[in-house]
Amino acid sequence: MNAALAPDALAGKRALVTGSSRGIGADTARYFAAAGASVVINYRNKAARAEKLVAELEATGASAIAVGADLTDPDSVAEMFRQIKEQWGGLDVLVLNASGGMESGMGEDYAMRLNRDAQVNTLKGALPLLDRGSRVVFVTSHQAHFIRTTPTMPEYVPVALSKRAGEDALRELIPELDAAGIEFVVVSGDMIEGTITATLLERLNPGAIEQRKASAGRLYNVSEFAAEVAQAAVDPVPEDHTRLVGDTSSFEPERAQD
């Protein structure tokens, strides 16, 4: 795993990556730690996996803690931030990476509760810990970001609609964030090979990922996309607050309103 950031790019910074016990979140946390950040590994119910990652990061000399929280439970989120404030005093980077909605048995409204409501609640809960100059990164997919203008595979529609709703709700907070000196950026990528979402999609719609790869030319893997997420935490924020990763030629952008 090559370094995504300069070794001291986040020296002295404190970062929380939601849903970071595995996948894109875990690799983002690894990149942050390698760049000098202290990292909070957030998990919903995989404590052992989160603690293993903490041990891995600590073995490299980094500072890391694991804090469990169900992001759809406001009390659980509040307790997570209480622990972070108690141990580190605050945060400099918040990566809203955790998402879902294709899991079975979670209820029909789970995608919206996690991908919209929980994202907004988590950001609002973090505000007292974020000082001027802090950065918030929201991770999404092209299939969600462009869902208003480009249809996606039926199995992914509930996730795409809820993630776009989450993005819209977060963007509505930009004026408040600007006033507080907090920067915000959306990182949107294509389907990522090796993620849980890709695996579930392939199970429901065999061949879907290969079809998307053929259309896009290539798909990013977990480590490659995580490097883009990590970079988004330090690069200048684009004027439209959007960092598009990978091919977007198959997606029709929204047209500006007259």
Least confident of 68-77, 137-146, 188-197: 188-197
* Better-scored residue on pLDDT, 204 or 79: 79
Q: Are strands 183-189 and 242-245 parallel, antiparallel or unpaired?
A: parallel
The reported pLDDT for the residue numbered 184 is 98
- Whether 60 and 31 have beta carbons less than 8 Å apart is answered as no
Q: How far apart are the first and last CA of the chain?
A: 46
Domain ranges of the chain: 14-190+219-245
The reported pLDDT for the residue numbered 96 is 98
CATH of the domain spanning 14-190+219-245, picked from 3.20.20.70, 3.30.70.1140, 3.40.50.720, 1.10.1740.10: 3.40.50.720
- Whether 162 and 116 have beta carbons less than 8 Å apart is answered as yes
Distance in angstroms (rounded) separating the CA atoms of residues 27 and 3: 11
Segment 135-163 shows an average pLDDT of: 93
For residue 254, give Cα distances in angstroms to 33, 146, 185, 188.
Answer: 36, 7, 18, 15
**How many CA within 13 A on the CB side of residue 118?**
26
The reported pLDDT for the residue numbered 257 is 47
* 70 residue type, one letter: D
Distance in angstroms (rounded) separating the CA atoms of residues 210 and 11: 40
Which 3 state secondary structure label does DSSP give 90? Answer: coil
The reported pLDDT for the residue numbered 206 is 76
